[in-house]
Structure 1
Amino acid sequence: MIIAIDGPAASGKGTMARRLAAHFGLRYLDTGLTYRAVAQALMADGASLDDEQAAERMVRDVDFEAMDRTALSEHAVGEAASRIAVLPGVRTALVEQQRAFAEEPPGAVLDGRDIGTVVCPHALVKLFVTATPEARARRRTEEMAARGGSVTYDDVLADLRRRDERDSTRAVAPLAVAPDAVLLDTTDLDIDAAFRAAVDIVDAAVRSQDRG
């Protein structure tokens, strides 16, 4: 079983994806981290972030099972990842590996911005998790403050709106709702309520498949 979860930044899709994977006994992949891993490898090697051939070579060395979320969450790595993510050869190579990961038994939950539309268009379940920019900014501000960060709500909100615009208008694999995705708005839901709603959606899809 493959579950594809897409949505904008700070919508709660990552937390939900991890919980769904644990609940249904599936593997989990944060596809955004795969771009960060390639970017980090390029930086460590001293290669240019515009060197598409070098970046494609790095893709082959990325171990999806060994990615360090803490190290890859650094701001500099995120900025570098946004640069290599627009390189067509890098996207093609990573999508191939992400798809192969998803198809290994018993299946997987993948989250990102183009899972249901590009990476796993035939996923059994497609969720598009969203929330208002204001709700997402509040969550992200609280999350960063809990880690000792000193960001303001207004700065986070402005950054999220910029990211939303960039993600939805980019030429390659823009953020979009797949035609057969189920929209899950978490604006007024806490993580437990959102998770229960997602489980119900997956269970319904499994029952429908079994009847078919």
Structure 2
Amino acid sequence: MSKINIAIDGLSGCGKSSTAKAVAKSLYYKFIDTGAMYRAVTLYFIQHKIDLSNHEEVVEALSNIQIDFEFNQESQKNETILNQQNVEQEIRKMYVSEMVSPVSAIKEVRVAMVAQQQEMGRHKGVVMDGRDIGSVVFPDAELKVFMTASTAVRAKRRQEELAEKGETVALDDIIENLESRDHQDSTRAESPLIKVEDAIEIDTSDLRFDDQVQKVLNLAESRIEKVE
């Protein structure tokens, strides 16, 4: 059976990653969480007190960053590895979330991460989610999906996700963070969040998780049939 690349873009907290993981699992494809990659870079910058306005510091820091993914048999999930250290839990915390957009907007950061992402998808059979996958990373992806959801729904989902990890955050703070990230992501000069012309939009506000996964799977299967 022929394989394709699937690009899933969209707003923060609309279910991109969880949907992409489920789709990849169903198709036996490789899932790449690009958001986790940028979170890992952000964590490294925070830990090493990198001045985001200092070009030399940023470039040097990036040369010391290696990001991989490791499948955890117990949790049955991919976990993010930063320089051989598992940082999956740490990169999901709010202090990292608050810095992800400014870090992601830096040209050198995006160039470094896009290069790694494109290499991962060179042999097809990849499901990748983010904000510029269909526009920059995989402009030739056979299937491009753009996911949206209302701010209220996204905030509630994020709050529940954080609560499951033992972190209590006020809903208003999460809404403020999401709105700030939406603005920064869509207006940044470098690889802004956009819906490309050939992407199919899916609003997940009123969809059950299984339904949104099935929508993407149906689209994927129709694309796979076309390339066989």
TM-score (norm 1): 0.88
Do 1:6 and 1:113's aligned partners in 2 also have CA atoms closer than 8 Å?
yes
Of 77, 83, 87, the match for 2:106: 87
Decide which moves more: 29-38 or 110-119: 29-38
Correspondence list, 1:1-212, <5 A: 1-60=4-63, 61-65=65-69, 66-67=81-82, 68-103=87-122, 105-210=123-228
Aligned-partner Cα distance in 1 for 2:158–2:47: 28
Distance apart, 1:152 and its partner CA: 3.0
What is the identity, as a one-letter code, of the residue corresponding to 2:189?
A
Q: What is the deviation of 1:59?
A: 3.4
How far apart, CA to CA, are the structure 1 residues paired with 2:190 and 2:54? 18
- Cα gap change, 1:36 to 1:142, in 2 (>3 Å): closer
> Could you say what secondary structure the match of 2:89 adopts?
helix
What residue identity is the alignment partner of 1:114? D
Q: Distance in 2 between matches of 1:70 and 1:22?
A: 21
- Secondary structure class of the residue paired with 2:201: strand
1:193 Cα deviation from its structure 2 partner? 1.0
Structure 2 residue matching 1:109: 3-state secondary structure: strand
List gaps (5 residues or longer) in structure 1.
Answer: none
8 Å Cα contact 1:52-1:87 kept in structure 2: no
Q: Is the 8 A contact 1:125 1:181 kept in 2?
A: yes
Alpha-carbon deviation of 1:192?
0.7
CA gap 1:150/1:93 in 2 versus in 1, 3 angstroms: closer
How far the C-alpha of 1:106 sits from its partner, in A, is 4.7
Structure 2 residue runs of 5 or longer lacking an equivalent are 70-80
Partners in 2 of 1:151 and 1:44 — Cα distance?
A: 22
Alignment identity in percent?
33
Q: CA deviation at 1:151?
A: 2.6
Residue range with higher mean Cα deviation, 73-82 or 171-180: 73-82
Q: Is the 8 A contact 2:98 2:177 kept in 1?
A: no
Alpha-carbon RMSD: 2.0
Aligned-partner Cα distance in 1 for 2:141–2:124? 13
Question: What residue identity is the alignment partner of 2:206?
Answer: D
